Amino acid sequence: MNLIIDIGNSSTKIAVFDGKKKLTAFHTRDFSCEKVEKNLSPYNIKKAIISSVRNTPEFVFDLLTIDIPFVHVLSHNSKLPFAVEYETPGTLGSDRIAAAAGAYELFGASNVLIIDAGTAITYDFLAAGIYKGGNISPGLNLRFRALHRFTGRLPLVQLMESYSFPGKNTTDAIAAGVITGLIYEINEYIRTFEKDHSDIKVILTGGESGFLKEKISDQLTYIPDIVLDGLNYILEYNAT
C-alpha cells in the first residue's frame, strides 16, 4: 500500500492507496505524529511519498523511514512521466508537479489546463506530454484578507454563497468584488486557452473548487484531490 502526504500552505492531506484505488484520505490542520500513527495503523504501508510547499516537520521523516521500505520526497529531481519546460524547475511547487502528473495519468498527451483553487490559485498547462508552465494568482481567502489588512476601514469578509450584485453594502461589495472577480478571471483563462487549443481539457481542483465549480460557465472536469492521485502516480513511477 502507498502512503501519500501532501503538506500544503493551509493544511496537510494524507491518503492511502492500494494500487490506483484510494482507500482513505483526510485533511488536517493539526499535523502531528500521533494523528498520523492513529489513522494509518490499519494499513501495511510499503511505499510513501512526501510533497511539501513549506518546511516539512522532522518527525515525518523519522516516522516514515522506520518501517516503510521506500520513501520518496518529491522534488524537481524526481522522475516524471512528462517533460518539464519550466525555466526554474527548482522553484516549481511540488503541488503543481503532482497536479500535472494526475492530469497526465488521466488524459495522457492531451492538452490540459489544471486550475487548482487553494490558498493560491494556479493555472498549469500540459501540451503533448510536456509541462509548459503556468500562472499563480491569490486565492479567495487571500483576497479577502488582503483587502482587510491593507486598507484602513474595510472589514474582513468570509466566503459567502449569497450577496447583492452590485453590492448594496460594504460586506456585499467586497464579497461581490472578490468572488465574481475570481469567477471572471477563471472563465477568461479558460476562454483564452480554448482560443488556441479547441480540444483542451480543463480540470478544476483544490480546497475552494467545490465552492467555485457550479459558478464557472465552461465545461470542466471536477477532481478535488487530483494532487493526491498525481502523487501516487509519481510514487509508483519512481519506485520502479
Catalytic residue numbers read 95
Instruction: Tell me the C-alpha distance between 200 and 218, whole Å.
Output: 12
Q: Which three cell numbers stand for residue 197?
A: 487549443
Cβ-contact 180, 165 below 8 angstroms: yes
Going from the C-alpha of 142 to that of each of 15, 71, 111, 148, 161, the distances in angstroms are 26, 33, 29, 10, 17
Burial of 10 (0-12, 13-18, 19+ CB in 10 A): exposed
Cβ-contact 215, 183 below 8 angstroms: yes
Instruction: Tell me the C-alpha distance between 147 and 93, whole Å.
Output: 26
Cβ-contact 10, 118 below 8 angstroms: yes
Q: Of 12, 2, 7, 4, whose CA–CA distance to 43 is shortest?
A: 2
- Asked whether the CA dihedral 29, 159, 134, 128 is positive or negative, the reply is positive
Cβ-contact 134, 125 below 8 angstroms: yes
